[in-house]
Structure 1
């Protein structure tokens, strides 16, 4: 049966690894999304990275897979006072979370996180990919609150079902299901936050609404979020002969509006339609430079779902229109960029369970997009993909997962490009005992550059050192080639119902590695992505969590911690080895979450740490040193009768300023330095459930 599944790619030039993966076993089935299995031993082991606090009973139709999935439910998020997706992901360990406002161009938000030294993971909402603007602006993910979310599924290993074989991390946010026992219900929340540290000031206001209900076979919901942020911050720049201080004033507004309608045809079938509308505006002044950015998008998703025990079918259709404008005015330079993205998607996903030990997933995905710009030629793109993956638990303690994805990519206009890629994935899990397990994953993948990286449009940087090596402008590169990635990682885990520890070692070999390099263009430095000959990344991640389930006295407690090391080494066109300039050697985080039921009190505190590190800049005679940094986040929620609650949130408490310094590689003399002051803030929220 395997030969039938992979018949779409018989003429492709497979690598040795591809052939090896395909020949492992002719009757192997794979599935990349596992929560638990019907076997009691396996279920208890899976609970570690899945959810120690999630389910009280075995799911009715558990998946079968050697690839673990972490699941965090809304109950857990609310139990420990989470205010955002970022708060939840801190407890999932392994993600390097950015501090708000760090770096020359700011930071923060889900789109700014890193995973095991690499780029941001792929975010999905109800299984559909989401993104920011044409050049990676704020995404829908950053506007979601736990009241709008049913659960978050985190897969830290390659997933062919979502085209994320190369990214090795997929975060799927499942939105809250409408109520099934009441005509209407929901949550209203209003927040106000203020921060002041020296000359730094920040004022934040936020209003969010979540409403849902049911009328016979119709289920409906509405989520809305409005944010206002006004910030005054100070950055300092230094060269060998002078120091300057730059004041920045920025006013930001963000609007998110998402209605959803669901019709239940019968107990096994339903139709769902949902709309996401998002608009972000930013007006800023930095010295004599005036910056005005706008980003708005509207996305429509509709799907048909059928579930019958272990079998399921899903047909999905989506369309999205995004528009992003960026205006920069100063004495030296004026620019205006207007870019629009139109995207259409159609897909089919299916699951077939043959028995308690075999299962297969398969599907097809087709997407078409068009990027229009007032400064460059239009970029058209078509992507098509077929995938299949399944699992076979061939003994009580061993599970094998095998899958493959075939993709075709065509680009025209700005870039003339045609390519196809075959990506296999193999995973094996061995359960030594009820607590101990060893899981290994091998994959081969291709990562094609997205339109953000291909568009040569230059975004002008800000501050007094704009256009310098320490704060370059940004642009894309239409000549980029796709990365070719061969990866292996293995995880030794000790899991119990109360938590456990995972030790993961990984190694990735990447040909045509895409790295951001700084080049001098027309008197200003510009950061663009370029292909390097080869790169190797490897490291170890130690992650653990312990949860004390609610005692008779009403106490609940969770402790999580992680330490991730990474060594990313690049071989450039001159066959010289060096370390990647923007990847820290390790990151560490830890958090404590506590809930006391009699007082209806939920609290959590998280600490993140990044050490100081020095790296050589590509094609430049300078070393860049980033300072040691840490920050603390705090959240306390007190609930009252009749659905009222107050939430106290602290961000960037006791945090370190972000500093970068360039020094001459030969003499060690300072060339440039910059410092962005961190702004700790406190926000108070009032909530009413009805």
Structure 2
């Protein structure tokens, strides 16, 4: 790898002081308010002093959806003002998400697909209402390649809704892509970024190039987005086993590319046809000691839909097709393997909405999906999913709304696993606006969560480094005998929200039968981590989130503060009726962000702090306790806009971040069995963009 120029911590500290404030975001959006802001920075830049005034956003109409199920919206304007570089950056301000820590685990996923929601699995990601997936073996998702310039807004539904693909997930993130403005010709953004880091033995070099362009000609709307990223790094991990310490370097070269053209034809004022294509290719080559790793993922996805919308409701017909191929090659002195897997998936769905009046609304639809997963080391797995859903919302008083819905699902699997099941997932939600500011929202649901297809494949993916295959760094595989989880959940949110911000307090409780947990067991001479059903689990906790904004003053100053504290306690009941805490769920997470914007200088700055406490958990069927250290990291950014559409952004990630440490101690005498340390890599990224 090319040697990166020296970068000292003292210089980094000065950078923190220089940009230790943060960007002002949309002060009209709270955790229980729905906004539909579509301000385009490309159109407003010339008159930025006027159009970014918060008074101009007060007239933005609310989403006409009267559902009692809460929704949070993060607009593109907010993402750009905060200096967000990815979807992860935007979601970290939404309470309830446990973001992956940099360097967590020997092969941890730090992308969007690696996040957790309230101690459970990853949330469901949609793009324009269509579900997207990562690789069969955890390859980078389409979501990880999207930049804020490509996105119009992000809609977050934290509570179960039968209209979405998975009621049991309890969190759905719908990413709405950017559309051209009504009276705009061809316009867009080109952004080039370069980042580096160097500290002791750690190095990282990042380069990215993204292009987003869109336009409109008569009834035709068109756009294209492209993103190319290169990431070369040298990371260091240290292991301690049987009293002997070893330190090893891991050299990685990552290369990912995404191309997304989109075409839309307006039949009339109420109807349109849309086709969008996603092509994605990612490669990762890494070496550690004598082990070589080569991973590739190549996929192409086509989403098409017909949309009709008027005041009385809407109809949407969706068709999708995707082909995805993923290869994992591992080679060392004593071991060599090639895993080659592919997925072909087709989907056809219908969604309808009917509004009988301002107080009564119905949603209904159907969904059909079929997929085939081929592997060179396992039998083919075929899957067919079918679903019907209906949901009604009734605003029976000026301040109260009730929503009742149900989703019936059918699942058939054949090949590797012969399995058929059907489930009914009901949801009841109630919203009570106590005053214009105070509200309370409650949601009760029962749902079945079927295991993902890739979790059923028994294929073992070999871990890396000197302690590969050990209890502290096991290999990973699937389990074809997994049963679906049955989840009964209740959740309630008390909110106080105004135009300047608000505070929301949420309490939740979930009973889960046949809870799926990743369990480590010895297979031959190595340890392997596989998902397994546990008898029963209970998760519960509270969330406190808030934001406050000082509206822009006459001199151009604006300010915002946001923060959250999310607790979760996840317990498993063993077969002998004893209880233990889930091994990999932190007891709580906390984050806060400070923002400041000075319009005369067109300067926006941001600082965000994330914290995870130290915690210890007993491993299932093992006489050891795993302990992880407390971790925090600071992200900062500063954006300066210039004339003629030019702008530059300085982003510093994982500043003063804590190394990730794990220890295994005996439950008998407390003695140390194994320990691992993965050093974190702070980095700086400088981006230059030009709007046209």
Q: In the alignment, which residue of structure 1 is the partner of 2:200?
A: 198
Instruction: Tell me the CA shift for residue 409 of structure 1.
Output: 0.2
Q: Give 2:18's aligned residue.
A: none
Provide TM-score, normalisation by structure 2.
0.92
1:402 aligns with 2:404: yes
Please give the secondary structure, in 2, of the residue aligned with 1:92: coil
- Give the CA deviation at 1:574: 2.9
Query: 1:679 corresponds to which residue?
Result: 681
Q: Residue 667 of structure 1 aligns with which residue?
A: 669
- Alignment match of 1:633 (pick from 632, 635, 641): 635
Q: Which of 190, 194, 218 lines up with 2:220 in the alignment?
A: 218
> Are the aligned partners of 2:35 and 2:73 in contact in 1 as well (CA < 8 Å)?
no
1:106 & 1:615 partners in 2: Cα distance? 19
Q: How does 1:100-139 map to 2 (within 5 A)?
A: 100-139=102-141
Provide the residue aligned with 1:437 in structure 2.
Answer: 439
Question: Structure 1 residue 61: deviation in Å?
Answer: 6.4
Which segment is superposed worse, 408-417 or 301-310?
Answer: 301-310
Q: Does 1:50 align with 2:33?
A: yes
Aligned to 2:611: 609
Match of 1:318?
Answer: 320
Residue 150 of structure 1 corresponds to 152
- Partner Cα separation in structure 2 for residue 540 and residue 679 of structure 1: 32
Kindly state the Cα deviation for residue 548 of structure 1 after the two structures are TM-superposed.
2.2
Q: CA deviation at 1:438?
A: 1.1
Which residue of structure 1 aligns with residue 169 of structure 2? 167
When normalised by structure 1's length, the TM-score is 0.92
Conservation of the 8 A alpha-carbon contact between 1:61 and 1:309 = no
The within-5 A match list for 1:205-284 is 205-284=207-286
CA contact (8 A) 1:80 1:594 kept: no
CA distance in 2, matches of 1:572, 1:476: 21
1:531 aligns with 2:533: yes
Distance in 2, matches of 1:327 and 1:274, equals 32
The within-5 A match list for 1:179-198 is 179-198=181-200
Counterpart for residue 581 of structure 2: 579
| Helix, strand or coil at the partner of 1:75 | helix
CA 1:417–1:61: 2 relative to 1, 3 Å = same
Q: Deviations over 1:132-182 (max 9, x none)?
A: 101221101111111000010011101211122111111100000023323
Aligned to 1:356: 358
Q: Deviations over 1:276-308 (max 9, x none)?
A: 000010001000000000001000000000011
Residue 90 of structure 1 contacts residue 606 of structure 1 at CA under 8 Å; is this kept in 2?
no
SS of residue in 2 equivalent to 1:598: helix
Contact 2:463 2:469 in 1 (8 A): yes
Contact 2:455 2:531 in 1 (8 A): yes
Q: Deviations over 1:445-481 (max 9, x none)?
A: 0000011110101110001110001000000000000
User: Shift of the alpha carbon at 1:211?
Assistant: 0.7
Distance 1:684 1:195 in 2: 12
Conserved? CA contact 1:45–1:436, under 8 Å: no
Q: Secondary structure at the match of 2:92?
A: helix
**In the TM superposition, what is the alpha-carbon distance from 1:60 to its structure 2 partner?**
7.4
CA shift for structure 1 position 310:
3.9
Q: Which runs of 5+ in 1 are unaligned?
A: 1-43
Contact 1:45 1:495 in 2 (8 A): no
Give, in angstroms, the shift of residue 309 of structure 1.
1.4
Kindly state the Cα deviation for residue 215 of structure 1 after the two structures are TM-superposed: 1.0
- Given the alignment of the two structures, is residue 599 of structure 1 paired with residue 601 of structure 2, yes or no? yes
What does residue 548 of structure 1 align with? 550
C-alpha separation in 1, matches of 2:63 and 2:683: 45
1:343-370, CA deviations, whole angstroms, 9 ceiling, x for partnerless residues?
0000000100000100010000000000
The answer on 1:620 being equivalent to 2:622 is yes
Aligned equivalents of 1:48 and 1:414: distance in 2?
43
Mapped contact 1:200–1:232 kept (Cα < 8 A): yes
Describe the SS at the equivalent of 2:647: strand
Residue 521 of structure 2 is matched in structure 1 by 519
Q: Deviations over 1:67-91 (max 9, x none)?
A: 1111111112112222111111122
**Where do 5+ consecutive residues of structure 2 fail to align?**
1-26, 38-56
Q: Deviations over 1:307-364 (max 9, x none)?
A: 1114100000000000000000011211100000000000000100000100010000
Match of 2:342 among 324, 336, 340: 340
Structure 2 partner of 1:28: none
State the SS of the aligned residue for 1:91. coil
SS of 2:584 mapped into structure 1: coil
Give 1:557 shift.
Answer: 2.0
Is the CA contact (8 Å cut-off) linking 1:499 and 1:546 kept in structure 2? yes
Secondary structure of the residue aligned to 2:93 is: helix
